[in-house]
Amino acid sequence: MILAGKIYRATKILVLLCMLSMPVFATGQAGQTLVINEVLASSHSLTLDPKYKQFADWIEIYNSGTTAIDLEGSYLTDDFSQPRKWRISDEAIVPAKGYLLFWADGMNDSLHTNFKLSNDGEVVGLYAADGSVIDTLTFGAQESDISYGRRIDNPTILLFYEQPTPRAANATPGLPTSQQSGAVAMNEPSGFYANSIRVTMSAPGTIRYTTDGSTPTRTSREYTTPLAITSTTVLKARAFAANLLPGPIATRTFFIDENVTLPTFSLTIDPDFLWDDDDGIYVDENIAKRKLWERPAVIEFFEMDGRLAFADEAAIRLF
């Protein structure tokens, strides 16, 4: 009996130690602590999905509670008439006071929904396993790489964020309107030029520009005087104004003293999308993985006489 008592006490201690070392996850109805905190419905060039290496839309869930919550068995949808559109079939832990990101890319995989978001505006719903509503979010038309989410100090207020914050608090400045700054106008079109040119730009607000193919940001070089273009150059410019989202990106390709005898295609792309060690589509180590990778670019086509025939945004992929 004494031996049995020792075994019993040891078993109790062992069970207690195991319980103390196990992480605690709530399941079922913990909806009051979960919100759809931020969405990006027009992902163009900012947030790469680490698994498929695509610029995909995403939905961020925030858990304001003090206990981690497993969403396995719950549902996400972009159609309120189909609350069970996509079942979260794998473990999906939202940490206490933490975030979990779902990729709305149509891949129907772990953390990847079977639907995509529309930049024309739609709805997102998070539903419990029994079909009850946990949270919903409705948004209107969205601009590229601008997220829409709850203000950090008042979750009932929804704002547009120029600097999206996936898996983090919406601590960057947000705006109540999706209105953009004006477009940048340039005095010279893309084309072939025998000699150097001077490019002037105008737009409401401050104009920022780059000449390396990257996207202009609020920290890019500021345009103050006409630019002397003395060699072949890709110029990208964007206007920034107070209390407005950044304006559309203006792209021009100036060929200076280039002799061509055939029609010409010009592709403008951020260098990182080509040469980055992890995500670049031209890096040899990525050959086996990159067949489905797409990267945003601007394509321009010039006739044999050098005139611009068309220009448009495009996505490029290597095979």
The string of pLDDT tens digits covering residues 220-258 is 999 999 999 999 999 999 999 999 999 999 999 999 999
User: pLDDT tens across 4-31, in order?
Assistant: 343 333 333 333 333 333 444 444 445 4
Structure tokens at 290: 């990159």
- Residue-level pLDDT at 45: 86
Burial 132-166 (b: 16+ CB within 10 A, else e): eebbebebeebbbbbbbbbeeeeeeebbbbbebbb
Dist. CA 224–CA 206, nearest whole Å: 9
Q: 131-154 pLDDT, tens per residue?
A: 999 999 999 999 999 999 999 999
Name the β-bridge partners of 268.
Answer: 298
- CB of 58 closer than 8 Å to CB of 102: yes
Q: Name which of 166, 270, 241 is nearest 279 in CA terms.
A: 270
> Could you tell me if 95 and 63 are in contact, meaning their C-beta atoms sit under 8 angstroms apart?
yes
Q: Distance between alpha carbon 110 and the CA centroid of its chain, in Å?
A: 18
Give residue 315's pLDDT. 86
What separation in angstroms does the CA of 38 have from each of 61, 69, 222, 315? 7, 18, 31, 25
Kindly report, residue by residue over 161-178, the tens digit of the pLDDT. 999 999 999 999 999 988
Domain architecture of the chain: domains with CATH: 25-175 (2.60.40.1260), 185-316 (no CATH)
Tokens 């403008």 — which residue? 268
Q: Which three-class secondary structure state does DSSP give residue 284?
A: helix
Report d(CA 167, CA 292) in Å as an integer: 25
Give per-residue pLDDT as tens, 72-102. 999 999 999 999 999 999 999 999 999 999 9
Question: Is 285 buried (19+), middle (13-18) or exposed (0-12) by CB count in 10 A?
Answer: exposed
pLDDT-derived band of residue 295, with 50, 70 and 90 as boundaries?
confident
pTM: 0.79
pLDDT of residue 288: 64
pLDDT value of residue 46: 84
- State the pLDDT at residue 165: 97
